[in-house]
Structure 1
Amino acid sequence: MSLFSTIRSYFKEQRFKSQFLLLRMHLNIADSITLFVYTLTQIVWLITYQWHGGDLLCRICKFFYTFSFYLNSFINSGIALDRACNTYNVNSRKAIEKVMRRVKKMVAVSYISASLFSAPQLFIFRLYVYLMPGEENLNSMYGKCFNLIKQCYRQCTPIWTIYKYELFQEASRSDQNQYRNKRLIEVKLNKIKQWEIVASCIHLLLVFWVPSLIITLSYVAVIYRLKKFARKKGFIKGKKISRDDDMPEVNTVMTASQSQQTSKPGSAFDIPYMELLKLPADETMTKETNKSNQILTSVSTQVTIQRATKLTMFQIAKYQAAVILIAYLTLWTPYNLMAFISIIAPLNSSFNELLYKTLPFLNALIVLNTVINPIIYGFFEKQTSIEK
């Protein structure tokens, strides 16, 4: 529902807001993949405790699991970069005209990058079938137990787990005197563990830590730019300057003292305004002048209201983007931090055992992020409708 609402808003809302709506729409797509592909299959998997989908579905599901997480992170990075670019290009009309093209390029790069970084999952994961003891060919990579369903244990697992299991089995079958053979098995096992650590570290860096760094640096740049802008342009000698990201305008409010200074005698335009009102004037001209003043006042009021509404709605979009990014960092950081610690922690440490128990719960927080995002959208949609 949130996805359809965002698509409808994208085509209905004003142009200044459509760039954020475009990013939000694709963030909704990533959330939907997480909910309907990752969450549902995980629930079925936990109930059956085995993988009954076959080898092809195993690889495809693992691809989309990773793809949804990458896409979510990259779109959040795009939102942060969009905020930073808007802040630094506030005075450039040419840059403002290219905003939508820039956002579309970021979305395209997000999808391409998510697909490329998820592609290795098609080769890392596969179906492994274990035949219960008492059967011939105890272990099989793709399975030979179509007629022995009850005697088989099927699992969608990474190749590291398969290779380590087979090496452990080979080591257990070796004689005590075959020291050299066991040494070779140990060397192979260490190489497999090294490759597993490298792959896990690269995955964690790309899926969370690099996007988090981009988000943090983008908002540091935004804060720095706003502070610098406030020092240079804000509230200097009674001048209040306000700008928005899409239409760089300057509204100057003059104080009473400045108004008196500009009306000092010494020029042809120094006649006091009240004295001008006392000058005799034609009645028809006076009526036309009053009518023109009323029209100008009405138009000026409408323009002022439109600008104020536009500025307020754009501020709401900014706050919404900030809340989305805060929710992302809050819910994603615990799992990725603990997952990184589990990689570098000793295999037999008690802390590692605790991590393996807590990681599934922390992973659920990432899924919770996909549920919280629509709530954030709904809250700010109400604020937008109130402002309208």
Structure 2
Amino acid sequence: MPVLEDDGDEAAVPYALDENGNLAIPSIMVTDYVEMVVLVFLLLFGLPLNGFVLKRLVKAWMDGSNVNRQKEGARSTFLWLKIQLTLVDLILILCYCPSKLIWLISYQWYYGEALCKIVQYSWLFSSHLMSFAIVCIALDRVRTVYRLMHIEKNGKVPRSSATQLAFVKRLIVAAYVISAVLSVPQFHVWRVIEGENFSQCTTIWHYERASKYEKNPENYEMDVYPLERFYTLFHLLTVFWIPFLMLFCAYLYIVVYLFWYSLKPYSLSTGSPRFVKHSCEVDSNENLSLWNNCAPTSPVPVSTGSIKSGKFLLSSRFDML
């Protein structure tokens, strides 16, 4: 947000007065120009590229039949997640970049208090949504690993691919709902400062500080509001730290399981362990036994498993001499 700056010894105070005793118009900074360049770059390249990727992903989704999706549940689920992540990228670019660029160019807020609140809400909503969309992908990976554990232990898939896709869709809906709810405080926190020669969209705490500075600039001290600290900390947790911890725990679980699985002895069976009876083999051609008093061997159990849509057959035979 553009801020007011003072020169000299009171540079730490983000406000200044003009010759008439009113709040002075803030001056643009070098970092603002850099941010403008980045925003223009995102609009020129990020927006069309994400749009192109989204179009191809949606086309791939529409071209697949329901039968194919059921046979390849993991692929269709991940395709759906990629569609949602690309859509969230577009939402973030469209919500943040144009409004922020216009604000930096004008360096004032001419668009009313209602639009000020709506813009700030959309910024925080899209930021939350981006974080939670990435968390959804991590949770889906955890669920996939859990399914593999279930297959390895019980020899069967716990649920169908349709159930897996429904689970991911519920995750996405939950991400949108939680993001919308967590961004509601923006409607209360943000408002417009109406000065004599400029107006600005800012928080209620900056509004209080600016009002106090305008009334008594000589004895002004920067006030610290506990509610402002709570507001900042709360959104820092919900936008970054909580999603980060969820990602960390999810991928730590995956790494630990894969490491544990790699230490297990190799087994031909994907299901539960089976008892294989060792026996001796009788040479029928010569009608001679390779072991005295040995009965003919019984059939060895066959282990079958499936990899995605293809099936493979593994058979083993052990001879005792």
Once the two structures are superposed, the pairs formed by residues 266-305 of structure 1 within 5 Å of their partners are: 266-268=294-296
270 and 169 in structure 1: CA distance in 2 versus 1, 3 angstrom threshold: closer
| Inter-partner Cα distance in structure 2 for 1:304 and 1:106 | 27
| Inter-partner Cα distance in structure 1 for 2:216 and 2:280 | 98
Aligned residue in 2 for 1:163:
208
More off after superposition, 18-27 vs 219-228: 18-27
100 and 34 in structure 1: CA distance in 2 versus 1, 3 angstrom threshold: same
Sequence identity of aligned pairs in percent? 25
Aligned residue in 2 for 1:94:
158
Partner SS state of residue 199, structure 2:
strand
| Inter-partner Cα distance in structure 2 for 1:305 and 1:87 | 15
Q: CA deviation at 1:240?
A: 4.8
Amino acid across the alignment from 1:56: A
Determine which structure has the larger helix proportion and give its number. Answer: 1
Say yes or no: does 1:50 pair with 2:108: yes
| Pairing partner for 2:253 from 221, 235, 256 | 221
Structure 1: gaps of 5 or more residues: 132-151, 174-181, 242-248, 253-257, 272-302, 309-388
Q: CA deviation at 1:30?
A: 1.6
Partner SS state of residue 109, structure 2:
coil
Aligned residue in 2 for 1:73:
131
Aligned residue in 1 for 2:238:
206
Amino acid across the alignment from 1:117: L
Q: CA deviation at 1:18?
A: 1.7
218 and 170 in structure 1: CA distance in 2 versus 1, 3 angstrom threshold: same
| Inter-partner Cα distance in structure 2 for 1:160 and 1:87 | 47
| Inter-partner Cα distance in structure 2 for 1:30 and 1:263 | 64
More off after superposition, 87-96 vs 49-58: 87-96
Once the two structures are superposed, the pairs formed by residues 300-315 of structure 1 within 5 Å of their partners are: 307=310
Aligned residue in 1 for 2:54:
3
Query: Contact between 1:34 and 1:69, CA under 8 Å: does it hold in 2?
Result: yes
Structure 2-normalised TM-score?
0.62
Q: CA deviation at 1:269?
A: 5.5
| Inter-partner Cα distance in structure 1 for 2:255 and 2:244 | 17
Aligned residue in 1 for 2:13:
none
Query: Contact between 2:92 and 2:123, CA under 8 Å: does it hold in 1?
Result: yes
| Inter-partner Cα distance in structure 1 for 2:308 and 2:159 | 26
| Pairing partner for 2:180 from 115, 118, 123 | 115
| Inter-partner Cα distance in structure 1 for 2:308 and 2:233 | 52
| Inter-partner Cα distance in structure 2 for 1:96 and 1:218 | 22
| Inter-partner Cα distance in structure 1 for 2:250 and 2:53 | 27
Q: CA deviation at 1:52?
A: 2.5
Say yes or no: does 1:154 pair with 2:215: no
306 and 166 in structure 1: CA distance in 2 versus 1, 3 angstrom threshold: same
Structure 2: gaps of 5 or more residues: 1-51, 283-293, 300-305, 312-321
| Inter-partner Cα distance in structure 1 for 2:56 and 2:204 | 41
Query: Contact between 1:30 and 1:69, CA under 8 Å: does it hold in 2?
Result: no
Partner SS state of residue 95, structure 1:
coil
The size of the alignment, in residue pairs, is 226
Query: Contact between 1:263 and 1:270, CA under 8 Å: does it hold in 2?
Result: no
Q: CA deviation at 1:87?
A: 0.5
RMSD: 3.1
Say yes or no: does 1:128 pair with 2:184: no
Aligned residue in 1 for 2:24:
none
Q: CA deviation at 1:35?
A: 1.1
| Inter-partner Cα distance in structure 2 for 1:230 and 1:196 | 49
23 and 270 in structure 1: CA distance in 2 versus 1, 3 angstrom threshold: closer
262 and 107 in structure 1: CA distance in 2 versus 1, 3 angstrom threshold: farther
Partner SS state of residue 156, structure 1:
strand
64 and 262 in structure 1: CA distance in 2 versus 1, 3 angstrom threshold: farther
Q: CA deviation at 1:231?
A: 2.5
Q: CA deviation at 1:22?
A: 2.0
Amino acid across the alignment from 2:172: V
Q: CA deviation at 1:63?
A: 0.9
Partner SS state of residue 77, structure 1:
helix
| Inter-partner Cα distance in structure 1 for 2:204 and 2:190 | 6
Aligned residue in 1 for 2:281:
264
Q: CA deviation at 1:48?
A: 1.5
| Inter-partner Cα distance in structure 2 for 1:10 and 1:81 | 21
Say yes or no: does 1:32 pair with 2:90: yes
Q: CA deviation at 1:270?
A: 8.4
| Inter-partner Cα distance in structure 2 for 1:304 and 1:78 | 25
| Inter-partner Cα distance in structure 1 for 2:295 and 2:100 | 82
Q: CA deviation at 1:104?
A: 1.6
